[in-house]
A and B are shown apart, each in its own frame.
Chain A
Amino acid sequence: MVKVFIEKENKTKEIKASNIKTILDNLKINPETILIVKNNELTTINSKIKSNDKIKLLSVVSGG
């Protein structure tokens, strides 16, 4: 299980996944709308993950 913080919802969820793409598919989040931060570093959708990795999904949309 990987801890995933979703900024837009201000929530952390635990998800079973070995890569970022599975997480996004699982959460139904469009990769166009977020920045992916793995252990405090930006990464791409193709990045692999381990169980103790900390993932943050930051919204790219400005508040208006």
Chain B
Amino acid sequence: MCKICKTKPIIQLTNTNISLCKSCFLKYFEKKTFKTIKKYDLIEKNDKILVAISGGKDSLTVLNILNKLRERLLFKIEALLIDEGIKNYRGITIIDAKNFCKKNNIKLTIVSFKKEFKYPLDSLIKKINLKPCTVCGVLRRYLLNKYSKKLKATKLVTGHNLDDEAQSILMNQFKHNIEISARLGPITGVISDKKFIKRIKPLYLLNEKETATYAYLNNFNSKYVECPYTIDSYRNEVRDMLNNFENKYPGTKHAIVNSFLDILPLLKDKYKTNKKIISCKKCKEPSSKEYCQACEILRMVGIHKS
């Protein structure tokens, strides 16, 4: 029975073992997102919020909730979609993203690898000896930051949830990449610099199953589509391991993220001043080296001449 109203439950929250019905769950989910925004000061009055969307369940969920909150918290909202050019994958979610934005009257900007870099991801990865996820990640982050500034956004929102964060924390731990962990948290980054638009994660304390439940109840993206390049990814193994642990020891994911939040201020402090941010010689985007990672990849592909 639903813990609050004693009607038929639709979900059992693993962290607390509480069951909730549809109506109480939707309220719980939106309230928890709101509380996360408030707790970590993710959004301020008059912010221009740009939501990075893929058309998948996480990004449409966060866009939907922020769209509901924009009048209450007095901020502006737009959406940005990066079309990497992955056959039989991105095209499907773009349709969901367009339909959602049209229905909710949200301005959507679509930026494609093909238009920006001359080739879609499917072609780029054939020209280079790097993992598709590396190429995609670097170029996507580059475009997100570039277009956030172009569209005069003050914050960039991503749909990252508790599972994504717990996975990242463990992956960095397993690979001794603690400096990269210092950039995690509900607000990403260690450096406050106008070249970087702050990234925020309003779904930070909600897990993947809760997010999928919210998306299902709101009829977002009912089709399961897997990116063809994620098959052998390290993250998938960590995800499976974490889900097995969560099933056996409920509350594991929350414990990982909460323990991490306890030490995050120390990590941010430790890695705060180590690197100076300069402008990439080629594209003028922020970089820690003479040329940024995106320009380095484009040089390797042969798009940029060295």
Contacts and interface: CB of A to CB of B under 8 A. Distances in A.
A53 interface: no
A35 B247 contact: no
A8 to B, nearest CB: 6
B12 A62 contact: no
A61 B207 CA distance: 11
Given A58-B222, A61-B208, 13 more contacts: A32-B209, A32-B243, A32-B247, A42-B10, A42-B11, A42-B213, A43-B10, A44-B11, A44-B19, A58-B216, A60-B209, A63-B89, A63-B227
B5 interface: no
A31 B243 CA distance: 9
B224 A32 contact: no
B283 interface: no
12 contacts: A8-B224, A32-B209, A32-B243, A35-B212, A41-B10, A43-B10, A44-B10, A58-B212, A59-B224, A60-B211, A63-B227, A64-B226
Contacts of A32: 14, 209, 243, 246-247
Interface in B12-27: 12, 14, 19, 22
A38 B12 CA distance: 15
A7 B212 CA distance: 14
A63 B96 CA distance: 14
Contacts, number: 64
B248 to A, nearest CB: 10
B46 interface: no
B208 A60 contact: yes
Nearest to A8: B224
> What interface size band does chain B fall in?
20 to 34
Interface string A20-51: 00000000001111010000011111100000
Nearest to B221: A62
A44 to B, nearest CB: 5
A60 B10 contact: no
B244 interface: yes
B165 interface: no
Contacts of B22: 42
Q: Which 6 A-B pairs have the closest CB atoms?
A: A64-B227, A60-B212, A64-B230, A42-B10, A32-B243, A63-B226
Contacts of B10: 41-44
B303 interface: no
Interface string B217-232: 1000010111101100
Contacts of B239: 61
Contacts of A64: 226-227, 229-230, 233
Contacts of B230: 63-64
B290 to A, nearest CB: 32
Contacts of B244: 30
Contacts of B19: 44
Central interface residue in A35, A42, A46, A62, by most chain B CB within 10 Å: A62
